[in-house]
Amino acid sequence: MKIVNQSYRKKDAMQLVTGQPVYTDDLVPNDCLLVKVLRSPHANAIVESINTAIAAKVPDIEAIYTWEDVDQDGERCTYAGQTYPEPSPYDRLLLDRHVRFVGDIVAIVAGKTEKAVDKALSLIKVKYQLLDAVLDFRTALDNPVLVHPEDTWKANCPVGADNKRNLCAHEVIEDGEVDKILAECDVVIDQTTHTKAVQQDMMEPFVTYCSIDTYGRLNILSSTQIVFHCRRIIANALHIPKTMVRVVKPRIGGGFGAKQSCVSEMYPAFVTWKTKKPSKMIFSRYECHIASSPRHEMEVRVRLGATKEGKIRAIDLYTLSNTGAYGEHGPTTVGLSGHKSIPLYRTEAFRFGFDVVYTNLQAAGAYRGYGAPQGIFAVESAVNELATRLKMDPIKLREMNITREGDIMPAYYGAPNTSCALDRCLEQVREMSGWEQKFPLQQLPDGKVRTMGVAIAMQGSSIPYCDVGGATLKINDEGHYTLLIGAADMGTGCDTVLAQMAAEVLECDYDNITVFGADTDASPYDSGSYASSTTYVTGKATEKCAMKLREQICKLGAELLGCPADAVEFDGKEVFESAAPETKKTLSEIAYASQFGHMVPLEATETHTSPLSPPPYMVGAAEVEVDTETGEVKVLEFDACVDCGTPINPNLTRVQAEGGLLQGIGMTLTENVTYDRKGCPEENSLFQYKIPARNDIGHIHVEFENSYEPNGPFGAKSIGEVVINTPLPAVADAIYHATHKRFYELPITREQIALAGQ
């Protein structure tokens, strides 16, 4: 391969680093209306009355909207960006009289200046009927206080939901005689882990601009991962035809799953549709922390049974997930806690059950890893505890039990393991980290302890039988190409890797491919950038599309040469007769010929979906220095090895891994979403909510052990999500070796470590 598996610079690199106007707010005119919202100070309440008369008299205020402007008995919707029919329940109204968490929407204010809007917000008078709230997700199921008592609540899919029980989803899946095998095991690890909610905290907040076009349609320019889902969600929320909505994505300053929900789009869309005037909304960092879409809080109980020789025989896993006040992504994130952790090991039996419950807290959503980090923390912590009980090397224990290429994985929907280098990743990390010399610990002269911990992880590559990727390729004057996609590059580099795939097939220079996306009016349909699907699914669509366009180029070239299409070849620059290579037409000549008097279109569109979601795999080892007196923890080195099939762009792949590892370390040690006794978030800015910076840790070292995935483009699998999973159990196990205390709740704070050392 000449283009694929090479480290080309990102398509948008120079525009971004030189500060060119590429993000949503860069492209917005200065004279549009500014939209802000009034938020509820109560976790559960009914708006008895709301007085906006004085606020409406503030100069430069255009409009104020409340629940009285929305049909309270109309069909509800979901803000989750998922393929229709959405598994997430329809439990939202654009403006609801019943507010269900601190930060829920009470009113929308639009004005010409920020000063006017802020003043109007302060003058709105609201009378609330306060209701009891459910703030502890462990008590939510069958609680007499219902988060969604309304009869208009609706579940589109059979996910075991029942709003009259505060239940957003429920299921139990098993294979084999779990209880019988656990009773026979020599060792049974029984532990419960708790991972709190964490924020994505992407650099660019939620931002949306709306306008009305020449044809009276609602045009939305937004920092979103899901242009096509966004169109459907907004149309449903506003009760307008989907044909009247167009969604366009510019450059995105990070998403990590937060922008897989329509967090900011609804409110300026409503304002513009009502007033027919352009408007924009930009979330403050405060709003990003109190009313966005953080990771689901989960409590996971694992029972893991093994022989005294270390053979893992059965895993029983139950997850309780807190979806918050609304069910966005609630029924789907929870599945990954089991389906992306249990299949890592060959077992005789497994059971996976879950309940997803409503509470009166900020609604959760999608975040990189999408439920897998919570489940992998639980299962890998249990495996590390098993290694300690058996006095075994945790890497050796895993080598005895891990899934291998060719296995059928019952806990992974019964799918075959079509490509797997997990065993080689383990060996690579053993060597990279100096495991034999450093594990389990080194006592330092100053009293600090250096320790090691290890973990393995898997993810998926798209949602099988569901996600759809699309690509359109066309040839332009002089033989340059335009690639149109519906996937959203949110800093991940998908524009770059998809261009590399097209260039590989078309045998042209990488710079000869211009990428355009994403626009619901112009792009081919694509589910969007989530579920680790872009490289695997949209990449395969791009590969197929480029192959089809090659055929069209050969067909027209043969027509110009006066010979059959099967008698010519194409080398990326010229079409020539196989038997007479000197008889040829250049690509530029063919491109111009297509514009005059010919019936062969030099344009192709392909779509792709997959019945399989081949897992990428990863192994990570953390070297940690712990001060047991102060509780200070420093991650000195994190060594990781990833099997993502064929890395399409090794540099971008490595950057993805490094960023995900840093986020995982933050989730383990510093990131913490907590609420006071009234349900108000206590970490509402980056002063209180501590995300790690690159200089907060030592060396990150990432290598690759490449398998070849036969169902992926050029043998590729995904990379985006698997990379966040290993730090949680690896760092936690390293801390155990320093303190001789296992921590089952994240984050592991300095105070907890210091107290453990006493």
pLDDT value of residue 408 = 98
Return phi, psi of residue 320, to 5°.
-110, 120
All residue ranges of the chain with pLDDT < 70 are 757
pLDDT value of residue 658 = 96
Residue whose token pair is 């004279």:
31
User: What's the burial of 650, exposed, middle or buried (CB within 10 Å: 0-12/13-18/19+)?
Assistant: middle
Q: Beta-strand (E) ranges in 486-530?
A: 513-516
pLDDT value of residue 696 = 86
State the first-to-last Cα distance of the chain, in angstroms, to the nearest integer.
58
- Give tens-digit pLDDT for 43-99: 999 999 999 999 999 999 999 999 999 999 999 999 999 999 999 999 999 999 999
Contact 647, 719 (CB under 8 A): yes
Tally of CB atoms within 10 A around 441: 15
Query: Alpha-carbon distance 648 to 101, whole Å?
Result: 43
Nearest to 356 by CA among 324, 378, 387: 324
Residue whose token pair is 């502890």:
136
Q: Using H for helix, E for strand and C for coil, what is the string for 84-105?
A: CCCCCCECECCCCCEECCCCCE
pLDDT value of residue 695 = 83
| Beta carbons within 8 Å of 103's beta carbon, 6+ residues apart | 39, 40, 287, 290, 291, 362, 681
Query: Alpha-carbon distance 108 to 117, whole Å?
Result: 10
Tally of CB atoms within 10 A around 698: 14
Query: Alpha-carbon distance 620 to 453, whole Å?
Result: 8
Nearest to 722 by CA among 417, 406, 341, 364: 341
pLDDT value of residue 693 = 86
Report the predicted TM-score, pTM, of the whole model to 2 decimal places: 0.97
In the chain, what are the helix, strand and coil shares in percent, each to the nearest 5? Answer: 30, 25, 45
Contact 703, 654 (CB under 8 A): no
| Beta carbons within 8 Å of 650's beta carbon, 6+ residues apart | 5, 6, 7, 704
Query: Alpha-carbon distance 503 to 137, whole Å?
Result: 51
Residue whose token pair is 């994190």:
638
pLDDT value of residue 588 = 95
pLDDT value of residue 126 = 98
**Cα radius of gyration (the chain):** 27
Contact 119, 33 (CB under 8 A): no
Nearest to 533 by CA among 322, 696, 711, 694: 711
pLDDT value of residue 689 = 96
Contact 318, 379 (CB under 8 A): no
- Residue 455 exposure: Cα atoms within 13 Å on the Cβ side: 32
User: What's the burial of 617, exposed, middle or buried (CB within 10 Å: 0-12/13-18/19+)?
Assistant: buried
Residue whose token pair is 């549709």:
273
How far CA 322 is from CA of 169, 171, 326, 575, in Å, comes to 11, 15, 10, 59
pLDDT value of residue 285 = 97
Query: Alpha-carbon distance 298 to 621, whole Å?
Result: 24
Query: Alpha-carbon distance 127 to 106, whole Å?
Result: 11
Nearest to 147 by CA among 92, 212, 218: 92
For 76: left if phi > 0, alpha if psi spans -120 to 50, otherwise beta; the answer is beta
How far CA 261 is from CA of 256, 258, 274, in Å, comes to 11, 6, 23
- Give tens-digit pLDDT for 227-239: 999 999 999 999 9
